[in-house]
Amino acid sequence: MTSPILVALDFPDTAPAVALAERLAPELCRLKVGKELFTRGGPQLVERLQGMGFEIFLDLKFHDIPNTVAGAVRAAADLGVWMVNVHAGGGRRMMEAAVQALRPYEKPPLLIAVTVLTSMSDEDLAELGYGESAAERVRRLAALAQDSGMDGVVCSALEARDLRTHRGPDFCLVTPGIRLAGDDAGDQRRVVTPAQALANGSDYLVIGRSITGADDPLAALERVHAEIA
């Protein structure tokens, strides 16, 4: 069975990221490479991690005009990543362009849309002029993403149960803001434990500090597996 765990390599440089990866096991997790690390290490880092046996979620949250996003998604596919994401807020034409860009690939990456960042609260959305709660906006954007041909969305596990009900069993739900019981929530506002997230309908769990900040990252990863077993 494939692991649902995506370890977030949220490091400021490549050396600690590679050092952490060397302490993990590809059969127990995939790795998430975000904006800061990719800006430092580039495609070469992704290829190095893939060479170590890891599948990569390239978390760059593309949000631009349709043609630009299509080209960026195509570049990610050429790099061989397992998953890539865009911002659902870019709208239907942007998401459809990304979907079309991957049509020629025999084994394209999973294409996921970000709904509402898990760092954002209802108050943050109100300040931006949105008259709907985080849960309502997530529901709206997830419906639009599915209608645009996306494979799934990034959402809080608190919204996963509702999305699973409304978007069906085959729509992929990727949930950050996952913390082991007793861990600090950090800058995330909407957080749950791994077991709660899977029970709510999440397919993949993005876990950062609970693993990367542990004295023994592999033991922490194994603890996650034990919790969700």
Please give the positions annotated as active site. 59, 61, 64
SS3 85: strand
Closest CA to 154 of 105, 188, 107, 106: 188
**Cβ proximity of 30 and 56 under 8 Å:** yes
Known binding-site residues equal: 10, 32, 59-68, 118, 179, 188, 208-209
CA atoms within 13 A on the CB side of 129: 0
Q: Which residues pair with 57 in a beta bridge?
A: 32, 83
Known binding-site residues for substrate equal: 10, 32, 59-68, 118, 179, 188, 208-209
Closest CA to 65 of 37, 42, 86: 86
* DSSP per residue, 7-64: EE---SSHHHHHHHHTTS-TTT-EEEEEHHHHHHHHHHHHHHHHHTT--EEEEEEE-S
The stretches of the chain forming alpha helices (DSSP H) are 14-21, 35-51, 66-79, 92-101, 122-127, 134-147, 157-167, 194-200, 209-212, 217-228
Q: Which two tokens stand for residue 97?
A: 């362009």
CA-to-CA separations, 119 to 95, 187, 190, 201, in angstroms, rounded: 23, 6, 7, 20
